[in-house]
Amino acid sequence: MPRKAKNKESSRVKKIKAVFSKEKVLAEKSSEATNLHNKNRYGEYVEDKVQYTLVETLYLIERGKLSLRDVRNKVIKKEDFLKKCNKLEKNFFVRYSVFKDLRNRGYVVKTALKFGADFRVYDKGVKPGEGHVFLMFDSGVEASGKQFWLQPNRYYDLDRCHAEVNDILTIDKVLLINDGKDLKLGKPYVKDAKVEIKVLEHRRGPKIIVYKMRPNQI
């Protein structure tokens, strides 16, 4: 019996120990973090640390590769971390769905904010800096100049829709579709995909008080 317990304990996979602080996720340059970076390009080296994006962190937590704690050494669960990410980044869940699908297919995915897009995608086996980007895109549905992640039987606020109450609007700028089984990505839009929404009411937003400072006239 003791021998079996020892074998079971030795077979456990060591996780990367990371800390979430000030909207950043940092980990020591352990052998686990270094191997994962060299093999699949997760994280970026920042001095003597490895820094992970929020989507990378959530993905590695789901795969059992990373354990996350706060500065007080308290464990952060996946559900709690997802809530924090949704507050920190607009359309985070949409972006994460895209990231997760591409990573599951074996592509190397890195951020592309300085290029005006969400992600840089490298072909399988190609490492950033050693090959060319084959896809760069933004990640939901475009309406009123914004992106939305739409789900059935939900209510959404759209700005300045030129329609009457009970009218049906058709949105044909669909960036991605996730039915729970497969994820379809558009380039930039999914071909022949449409979403119909019903206008329930028109309402005004909260009033804004504006103060104007004018110089005293003598």
Collapsed DSSP state (helix, strand, coil) of residue 204:
coil
pLDDT at 203 over 50: yes
Per the model's pLDDT, the better-predicted residue between 54 and 157 turns out to be: 54
When mean pLDDT is compared over 51-60, 163-172, 193-202, the highest value belongs to 51-60
C-alpha distances out from residue 80 to 75, 86, 87, 96, Å: 10, 10, 11, 15
Local confidence band at 8 (pLDDT 50, 70, 90 cut-offs): very low
User: Which two three-digit tokens encode residue 201?
Assistant: 């009411």
| Among 134, 159, 164, residue whose Cα is nearest residue 147 | 159
Which residues does 136 contact at the CB level (< 8 Å), separation at least 6? 112, 115, 117, 119, 120, 121
The pLDDT value recorded for residue 147 is 67
Average pLDDT for the chain: 80
The pLDDT value recorded for residue 65 is 95
Local confidence band at 142 (pLDDT 50, 70, 90 cut-offs): low
The pLDDT value recorded for residue 89 is 87
Fold exhibited by the domain 15-105:
MutS, DNA mismatch repair protein, domain I (3.40.1170)
User: Which two three-digit tokens encode residue 82?
Assistant: 């997802």
Point out the least confidently predicted range of 63-72, 118-127, 142-151, 174-183.
Answer: 142-151
pLDDT at 131 over 60: no
Is the whole model's pTM more than 0.75, yes or no? no
The pLDDT value recorded for residue 180 is 61
- The pLDDT tens digits of the residues spanning 37-93 come to 988 899 999 999 999 999 999 999 999 999 999 999 999 999 999 999 999 987 788
Instruction: Tell me how many helices (H) and strands (E) the chain has.
Output: 5, 14
Give domain limits for the chain.
15-105, 140-203
